[in-house]
């Protein structure tokens, strides 16, 4: 193949991959299977390796990030990125609206109301329909060049369609971590003994500032555009017209905005958003109100730091006071010691909170939290219960300050601390608390799904010496189980049947159950889809692992470290002798490719509301039946599986004519007859 032929083929493959990326990530309407996509991807990767001078920084192969950078170059924005003034009450908002009336000389001022996404503001510059730079806001005049990391965001267009302007223009948007992804990352960080992110915004900022773009890629950030900076060729008259422009050019944008023609409609839109915000796929801490007329925006101008034509209305976070009953030390499966607050139960943001993480001793000292204190609780980012502050005036006497223990509370081994004295961990590999957490993870629904093997039973098995390792679970018998508390012959038989059934789980579930650091359920599925068996995965070279989408250097090193360990090699050998699928593809197939055969073949589902089981269960069943699961309702959605408190997705499904399915109907579809 000549270089000219390679250039043409690279251009064709790039167009194809970008189209399929848009269909998958933006329109939720994929046309090909993951395997077919991977074949296109590998073809492009192979050509770029043969002709390295033809590789573009905007190639789809760069979505997973390149080599680590040494820092971030400062760049100047074409148009100053201003922040917004904040208002915290409806009265202050009325005063803002009255100022608009006075300055514009009219009674009613049409405005656009949008959710204020709690993320990181960015500027994206395009030239000749190609992405050339993404930067953070910084001080408004100068930001950090984060282009390498931003390219890993799957919904960020790298190439634009013919409908887009050809000249240089700049968009403004917000990079954020979806709430589902935030919960997953924090769960994984907790399992690995790493400090939890306080909220999605902090997690997003930390992800964008990673020197290794592959770490950023693993976080699965998202972006939504809401405005323009420099755009000389973009001829629009109203703020609301931007939505049509974004959609025509395949830019991700918010699907929930309001056009309010007067003050009453503005207040009504804000109140409606306050109700709906808990069902949005991202955290929103308020509403942004913008004058709709772009001519009026220009006439109103700005102050030295903020536009006069826009304002942010911040919602009050829901808080509650309660008493801190105790601080318990929780030992994770990696040995990390985490202080956990035990609280008098209190309702916050619609749910009862009785426990909250305190992160580490540094955090406890900073807030001066002591046992017996009255504390203020809120859900950080509306998700994680957090202790905001102590109500000092209600403190009784002078209770002692809290200190992390010098020895592991589970095994008595002296703890170790990292260099910054933030993380404290137990180094004992035989610590019973670490073993209990590993067994719980192994038996969890997302992993081996061993029904009946919950926290209390795991504690009993370890305490009685019946389970000193994962393989011991498969050596249990009825006679030993019946000596345990509340374990009759029937319950013992059910547990043994559940253990036997778990031998037939899809192989990817066993990979996830092993607890390899940084390997979540999705990664485990993709690894087995690529390698076919755990034995093949265990022997995979580092460079092949690192080349896989969403794996990269950090995860590949973690996988190699795990499988190179003699203890883990012995563990796998034991599991294989006990009938678990280590060297083979397993006795049960993994999830079917979307669109393949099955009761739900060629259908796309969205799940919402409260159902009888966790959403992961329904996701697995839909995938196994040949369907696809998307995160948001669109014209490509076939069915919405809705439980109680379905929220805005139900409304959107009705507006698009998407059929809404309840649980009994779903059961009938997935198991006809």
3-state secondary structure 501-540: HHCCCCHHHHHHHCCCCCCCHHHHHHHHHHHCCHHHHHCC
Q: How far apart, in whole angstroms, are the C-alpha atoms of residue 150 and residue 158? A: 10
Q: What DSSP character marks residue 658? A: P
Please name the helix (run of DSSP H) or strand (run of DSSP E) that holds residue 637, with its range, or none.
none
Catalytic-labelled residue, pool 102, 116, 305, 553 = 116
Residue 213: Cβ-neighbour burial (10 angstroms; 0-12, 13-18, 19+):
buried
HSE at residue 180, side-chain half, CA atoms within 13 A, is 13
Pairs from 336-341 (Cβ < 8 Å, separation ≥ 24): 336/192, 336/193, 336/194, 336/423, 336/424, 336/425, 337/404, 337/405, 337/408, 337/409, 337/415, 337/424, 337/425, 337/426, 338/190, 338/193, 339/364, 339/402, 339/404, 341/369, 341/375, 341/387
Distances (CA, A) of 604 to 220, 255, 281: 21, 19, 18
Q: How far apart, in whole angstroms, are the C-alpha atoms of residue 237 and residue 240? A: 9
Q: How far apart, in whole angstroms, are the C-alpha atoms of residue 239 and residue 254? A: 13
3-state helix, strand, coil in the chain (%, to 5): 40, 20, 40
Is residue 519 within 8 A of residue 559, CB to CB? The reply is yes
Is residue 358 within 8 A of residue 364, CB to CB? The reply is yes
Residue the block writes with tokens 């993404």: 134
468: Cα separation from own chain's centroid: 34
Q: How far apart, in whole angstroms, are the C-alpha atoms of residue 109 and residue 387? A: 41
Among 572, 575, 439, which residue's Cα sits nearest to residue 495? 439
Pairs from 451-458 (Cβ < 8 Å, separation ≥ 24): 451/494, 451/498, 452/491, 452/494, 452/495, 452/498, 453/495, 453/498, 453/499, 457/484, 457/487, 457/495
Q: How far apart, in whole angstroms, are the C-alpha atoms of residue 302 and residue 131? A: 29
Residue 455: how many other CB atoms lie within 10 Å: 12
Tell me if residue 55 is catalytic.
no
436: Cα separation from own chain's centroid: 27
3-state secondary structure of 113: strand
Q: Would you please indicate which residues are annotated as catalytic (active-site) residues? A: 116
């Amino acid at each position: 193949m000549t270089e000219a032929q390679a250039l043409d083929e690279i251009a064709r493959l790039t167009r194809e991959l970008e189209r399929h990326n848009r269909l998958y990530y933006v329109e939720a309407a994929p046309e090909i299977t993951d395997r077919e996509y991977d074949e296109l991807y590998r073809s492009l990767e192979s050509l770029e390796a043969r002709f390295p001078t033809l590789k573009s920084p905007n190639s789809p192969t760069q979505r997973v990030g390149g080599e680590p950078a040494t820092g971030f170059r400062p760049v100047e924005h074409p148009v100053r990125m201003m922040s917004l003034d904040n208002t915290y009450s409806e009265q202050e908002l009325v005063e803002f609206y009255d100022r608009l009336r006075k300055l514009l000389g009219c009674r009613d001022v049409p405005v656009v109301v949008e959710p204020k996404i709690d993320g990181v503001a960015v500027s994206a510059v395009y030239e000749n329909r190609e992405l050339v730079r993404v930067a953070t806001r910084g001080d408004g005049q100068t930001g950090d060049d984060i282009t390498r990391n931003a390219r890993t965001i799957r919904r960020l267009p790298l190439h634009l369609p013919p409908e887009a302007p050809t000249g240089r223009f700049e968009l403004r948007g917000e990079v954020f971590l979806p709430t589902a992804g935030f919960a997953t990352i924090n769960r994984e960080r907790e399992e690995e003994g790493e400090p939890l992110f306080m909220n999605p915004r902090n997690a997003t900022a930390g992800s964008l500032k990673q020197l290794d773009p592959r770490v950023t890629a693993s976080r699965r950030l998202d972006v939504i555009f809401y405005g323009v900076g420099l755009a000389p060729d973009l001829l629009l008259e109203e703020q609301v017209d931007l939505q049509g422009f974004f959609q025509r050019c395949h830019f991700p944008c918010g699907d929930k905005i309001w056009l309010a023609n007067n003050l009453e409609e503005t207040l009504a839109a804000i109140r409606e958003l306050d109700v709906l915000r808990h069902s949005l796929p991202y955290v929103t801490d308020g509403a942004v109100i913008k004058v709709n007329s772009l001519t009026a925006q220009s006439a109103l101008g700005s102050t030295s730091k903020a536009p006069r034509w826009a304002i942010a209305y911040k919602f009050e976070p829901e808080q509650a006071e309660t008493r801190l009953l105790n601080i318990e030390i929780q030992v994770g499966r990696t040995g990390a010691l985490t202080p956990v607050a035990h609280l008098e139960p209190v309702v916050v943001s619609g749910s009862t909170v009785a426990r909250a993480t305190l992160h580490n001793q540094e955090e406890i000292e900073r807030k001066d939290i002591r046992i017996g204190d009255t504390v203020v609780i809120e859900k950080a980012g509306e998700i994680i219960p957090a202790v905001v502050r102590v109500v000092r005036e209600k403190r009784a006497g002078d209770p002692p300050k809290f200190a992390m223990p010098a020895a592991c509370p589970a095994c008595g081994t002296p703890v170790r601390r990292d260099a910054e004295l933030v993380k404290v961990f137990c180094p004992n590999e035989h610590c019973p608390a670490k073993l209990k957490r590993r067994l719980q993870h192994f038996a969890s629904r997302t992993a081996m799904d061993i029904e009946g093997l919950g926290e209390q039973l795991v504690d009993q098995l370890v305490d009685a010496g019946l389970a000193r390792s994962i393989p011991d679970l498969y050596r249990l018998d009825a006679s030993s189980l019946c000596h345990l508390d509340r374990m009759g012959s029937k319950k013992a038989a059910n547990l043994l049947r559940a253990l036997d059934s778990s031998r037939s789980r899809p192989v990817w579930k066993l990979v996830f159950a092993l607890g390899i650091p940084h390997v979540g359920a999705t990664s485990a599925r993709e690894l087995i889809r690529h390698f076919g068996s755990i034995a093949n995965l265990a022997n995979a070279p580092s460079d092949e692992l690192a080349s896989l989408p969403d794996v990269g250097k950090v995860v590949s090193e973690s996988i190699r470290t795990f499988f190179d360990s003699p203890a883990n090699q012995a563990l796998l050998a034991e599991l294989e002798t006990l009938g678990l699928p280590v060297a083979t593809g397993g006795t049960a197939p993994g999830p079917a490719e979307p669109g393949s055969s099955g009761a739900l073949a060629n259908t796309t589902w969205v799940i919402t509301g409260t159902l009888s089981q966790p959403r992961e269960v329904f996701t697995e069943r839909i995938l196994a039946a040949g369907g696809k699961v998307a995160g948001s309702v669109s014209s490509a959605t076939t069915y919405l599986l809705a439980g109680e408190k379905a929220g805005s997705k139900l409304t959107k499904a009705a507006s698009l004519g998407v059929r809404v399915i309840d649980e009994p109907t779903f059961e009938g579809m997935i198991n006809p007859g």
